[in-house]
Amino acid sequence: MMSAFNIPPDQVHELHAHVRQTALVQEAGASPWASSLLQEFQSSTWFSIRGHLAEVKAGTRPGDSLADIVFSFLFAAVLKRLRQALLDAGLSVFLPWDPSWEGNLDGPSSSPNDSLAPLDVSWMDDLVILLWSDSPSQLVEDVKFAAETLLDQCVKALLHPNLSPGKTEAVLSLIGPGSRGLRSRLFRNPQPGIPLQPALHPPATLRLVPRYKHLGGVLHWQGHLSHELKSRIGQAWQAFRKHRRAVFYSPLVTHREKSLLFQSVVASTLFYGAGTWVCDDTSSLDPLRGALLAMGRQMLRPTFDREQSQHVGAGRVLAIARLSTVDAEIHAARLRHLSTVLRQAPAEFWAILHHDSQWFHLLRESLSWLRASFSRAAFPVDDLEEWTRTACVIRDKPQTWKRWISRALHLDRLTALWDAEVAHYHGLFLRFLLTHGAHPASDVLTCEQAQELCALCGKSFPNLRAWSHHAFKCHGRVREERLYASGNRCNICLRLFASNFRLCNHLQHSKSCFAALLAAGDPGEPQPGRGSRKYNSGAEQPCPAVTAAGPVLARQEVTYVPEAERPDPATLSALEMIYAFPEEWPCFQDLLEAVRAAFCKTCLQVSRLKATAAQWWNNLHEELDRCDDVPVAWAAQHLRIARMLLQVDFVTWLAPTPTAHGPQLSTFRDAAKVLPWLVFDLVQFPSPQPSSEDTHWICARSPPRPSSVVEIWDFVSHDSCFADPGLLDFDAWCRSRNGCVRGFSLIGLLPSLQCPPATRSYKSLQEPLQQLRLFADIVRGLVLLWSAGRPAFVIAPSIACGQLVFVEHVLADSAKMPFLLAAQVALRPVQMALCNGCDPCRDTERLFESELFEAVKLKRFSLPVLGVPIPHIKGIALKSEGDLTKTWPGPLSVEEFI
């Protein structure tokens, strides 16, 4: 045994003394008889293999469950001695603590007087030790002491620690003064580590790694969540591809069956441990949303084929595939984790949560999501209104809590399905109106003035970033530094960086190094950049840039001109060719067009175009001074053009009618916000011809009553349209020359565009969805008939769509009109009595900042009252949630609407 554990002979007496101590089970409270029985079970045990007897001199039988019990006692004793040794040495994380914090989301107002030390967390033989220190160098010493103590305690218990790669390693997060130099000394080696000299264990090395995978989760030295998400996404795709051909991509499997298997196989992998995630912002979850959307598109067969699924909106993809959104899944995972924390977490874990407090903030959002899911479905739960009652349900009725979370996810999917259908209706209607001449108001989609252009493609761009994106995607342009950045080392200053990306940044900011490389003139192929699967940002490497030793390139004193300010040689060469052949351009206009074509041969930013023009001006003057036999008219024309190039606006000159590169309008995402702001000045419907038909066609819920005006009605009910959508053939009606008047009644279809409140299942949602789709088809078809000059009319009830059109008084500006502000405050009771309760002192703009509105468009203006300009505010607001089916007796103020 001494040889197997490499224990030195002089340490035998210490090991004997440790073994002769009281049995661990007796220290835990077991009787001497139970301790003797456990000892008997571990001595001279036997088992049989294929009729042959095998005797075990010590320990437990292979596969015996007693081994887990023995190891638990043994490892618990190791951790107890380790914890005490580290606390005696002052090594731990001491967090403030108050007993009232346990089970409470809000800490006390006064500062606590107690503290806790959450030192270690273990799961069977997987152990994590948490340490912090006041300085980076002291933290390294503390980690070394803790590792040596752990190895010695394991050897005393005859446990052999596994120091192989991926097993026992340390993740150091060094910050503060001196951390950069310390990271440079620790991580400059290919295999960084801390040398250990324990008392019993042989000398060893503790490996230092930038990240560690512990119990399926990824711990990173910077605390980023991106590496954990990347690991989750990779494993989820692996599980998805395993069943894609047989299940997810099969047209024979229903959406419900695909969803059930996806939740059990893929979603369980994708959102493993999501309840513990702390996200700084919602954009950090975009990779997760992209992966879920890509999987959902492959699950749409047989409803959509592969090509059609690429043109379906994101919300509709998840709704049809019956998948919850990423935000809803994370809310549910966080609430499930809350159940475990509330019922099993020790006080040390609550101290960590209160010290960080970010998880509690996210938990409150998850509880609000749970309450909102139930309230939208008219399924109120009183126990969710107060935290104390919610905590009692979690502790006393865990199955009820799990059932609530599952039901909330189900209700959220139903609401998402309805919202996706409404967004699809809005998107199609917006697309139809835009193709028939409608356009958004000028102040809705603000478009920046064009500052850059691609003369080669005839496109203009609002800024340099947009131009750079186009130049890379369409013309393969990259930053000039990337062509001279080879590997990870700068050949001028010999600084070694963590990645090629950081080397490029170094060359971009170190003009002397890049100027020397540029003078050497040895460009190469650029390394993979952002967006490539092979891209390496360098975040994996804690080591900062270090300087190597060796031969360097000789620095040359050269005048470095940044690429953005450097003339383009190809354009200058083209201008020189034009100057050399005067007979090919007999008139000035032809010459000007040739110069313009020379500038349009390459994709350049405006700064390089100006630098090229300035350089051509200098070259032209030098050439005219050197050569005297140039025709005067030819020289005058070139000087005139060169002078014009110094003053011209290249954006308007090279691209007089550029392809607009303004803000992109998403058809389905932005439709609800853009529809109220459409301008119909250019929309013209032809006047329908008088009808000579005796029969008129109408689609309604019930047959119309006989009338003296129209006696014969060709009636089609809503139920018939549900059964046979082909009855509404708007295209054929537009092509037909029949002058039949067609009427549509929307009464009885939808009271509101909000999700029906009593929806509990997909089956109960089918009828409202049919009504919504018929409503959308009639609205779009009606406008199509009008655009074709066909007579048609519609009978529509008042529908609560969540839109508020308002005009209200507002307070005057205290800086510009202080006297009017004082008068408004003084005369407030009089105005409220005369103006039917209109309050001039109400802060309308602050009310519109409420989360109840998803889009608000405000505009200030003044109306003269008795010769005094009174400030007003007007606009439109779209309400996102709330009871919109309620009827009101008259006009609403903003407060009443909220």
Distance CA 589, CA 129 (A): 80
DSSP state of 264: I
CA distance 314 to 325: 10
- Which residues, listed in sequence order, are joined to residue 274 by a DSSP beta bridge? none
pLDDT given at position 888 = 41
Range from 89-98, 134-143, 613-622 carrying the lowest mean pLDDT: 89-98
CA dihedral 76, 78, 84, 88 (to 10 degrees): -160
Long-range contacts: 23-32, Cβ < 8 Å, 24+?
24/73, 24/74, 24/76, 24/77, 25/73, 27/77, 28/73, 28/76
Q: Which distant-in-sequence residues (6+ apart) come within 8 Å of 625 by Cβ?
A: none
Contact 775, 746 (CB under 8 A): yes
Contact 545, 495 (CB under 8 A): yes
DSSP string, 605-620: -HHHHHHHHHHHHHHH
Give the least confident one: 153-162, 703-712, 713-722, 749-758: 703-712
Determine the average pLDDT of the residues in 199-204: 88
Burial 817-826, CB ≥16 within 10 A → b, else e? beebbeebee
Q: Mean pLDDT over residues 224-235, rounded?
A: 91
Q: Residue 895: pLDDT band by 50, 70, 90 thresholds?
A: very low
pLDDT for the residue numbered 882:
44
Q: What is the pLDDT of residues 459-514, one digit of tens each?
A: 888 888 889 999 999 998 998 889 988 888 888 888 889 888 999 999 988 888 88
Q: What confidence score (pLDDT) does residue 194 get?
A: 94
The pLDDT score that the predictor gives to residue 889 is 43
| CA–CA dist 596, 607 (Å, integer) | 16
Sign of CA dihedral 226, 229, 234, 237: negative
Helix (H/G/I), strand (E/B), else coil: 220: strand
The answer, yes or no, to whether residue 878 has pLDDT greater than 70, is no
What was the pLDDT predicted at 413?
Answer: 94
pTM, full prediction: 0.79
Report, in angstroms and rounded to the nearest whole number, the Rg of the chain calculated over CA atoms: 38
Phi-psi label, residue 678: left if phi above 0, alpha if psi -120 to 50, beta otherwise: beta
| 204-208 sheet: strands from edge to edge | 169-170, 204-208, 193-196
- Where helices occur in 99-191 by DSSP H, the ranges are 136-156, 179-187
Please enumerate, as own/partner, the contacts of 186-191 that have beta carbons within 8 Å and a separation of 24 or more: 186/140, 186/542, 186/543, 187/541, 187/542, 187/543, 188/543, 188/546
- Report the percentage of the chain scoring pLDDT > 90: 33
Domain limits of the chain?
9-30+65-207, 226-417, 486-560, 569-654, 685-795, 803-897
The dihedral over CA atoms of 458, 463, 464, 468, expressed in degrees to the nearest 10, equals -60
Q: Determine contact, residues 783/434, Cβ cutoff 8 Å.
A: no
CA 334 to the chain's CA centroid: 18
Over the range 360-387, which residues count as b (16 or more CB within 10 Å of their CB) and which as e?
A: eebbeebbebbbebbbbbebebebbeee
With bands split at pLDDT 50, 70 and 90, how would you rate the model's confidence at 2? Answer: low
Amino acid 679: pLDDT: 81
From the list 270, 271, 286, 277, the residue with the least C-alpha distance to 359 is 277
Distance CA(102)–CA(395), nearest Å, equals 13
Strands across the sheet with 853-865, in order?
A: 803-809, 868-879, 853-865
List helix spans (H) across 713-865: 718-723, 730-735, 762-787, 818-826, 828-834, 844-847
Distance separating alpha carbons of residues 294 and 318, to the nearest angstrom: 10
- What span, in angstroms and rounded, lies between the C-alpha atoms of 259 and 647? 63
Residue 634 confidence (pLDDT) above 80: yes
Q: Is 218 strand, coil or helix?
A: strand
Residue 662: the pLDDT is 52
Residue 353, both tokens: 């949560």
Does residue 803 have a pLDDT over 60?
no
Average pLDDT on 428-456 reads: 78
| CB neighbour list of residue 804: distance below 8 Å, 6 or more residues apart | 876, 877, 878, 879, 892, 894, 897
Residue 831 has phi, psi (to 5 degrees) of -65, -40
For helices 387-396 and 398-435, the axis angle rounded to 10 degrees is 120
Model confidence over 820-873: pLDDT tens digits? 777 777 777 776 666 666 666 666 666 665 555 655 666 777 777 666 777 777
Residue 144 tokens read as 């070394």
Which class for 116: exposed (0-12), middle (13-18), buried (19 or more C-beta within 10 A)?
buried
> Tokens 């037909």 label which residue?
736
Nearest C-alpha neighbor of 181 from the set 546, 559, 475: 546
302-328 pLDDT, tens digit each: 889 888 898 888 999 999 999 999 999
Let me know: does 441 contact 683? Beta carbons within 8 Å.
Answer: no
Average pLDDT, the chain: 83
Confidence band for 576, pLDDT divided at 50, 70 and 90: very high
What pLDDT is recorded for position 366? 94
